[in-house]
Chains A and B, each alone.
Chain A
């Protein structure tokens, strides 16, 4: 299981949970499992998010691998100038 840290504003959609444990080996699987666990997160993820895996920010690379002990954070979408 991978522990996914959400941002606290999302607790409204997860019944108060700020850390959600999911079964996932890639970023894409994390996002899918989050929505399965908490359907309220669907519009959040559809609107675009970034995922930090062990300090690396992944946004487009959904195939990015995740280890069970990876530190995973769901973040608001990064935008550049």
Chain B
């Protein structure tokens, strides 16, 4: 099948690749752009391990075609830290032992960052429902939820401090 030349932006950098129209954005990110931080856990949009944002919207990259990234801004886990400085969510996940095997972690971090952008002060229930599309089989979610709630609190305090 003829391949299509796709021009897109990943974590702020312009990239291009040739995509078969059947290939998913996840496949293109991993196999063509070399970004393997997003994982395929199911390929059906149920597990969230492939979470990225597309023009700021949280998506399962296994349910988006590679060609749909044309002209869009893609953000992945690889773009979350600022150089050597971890995002507060990443730091808190390590401190809270909010990961065991770590395979779901990139997707959960991307999804959580998207939540906190929309809602800086979520309740535990809101966090749980937002993350209901991100499966974790190791942790029982307890430490993940605590890490998210605590990061949100820190970020709010930082913001208040900054405003003053």
- A touches B (Cβ under 8 A): no
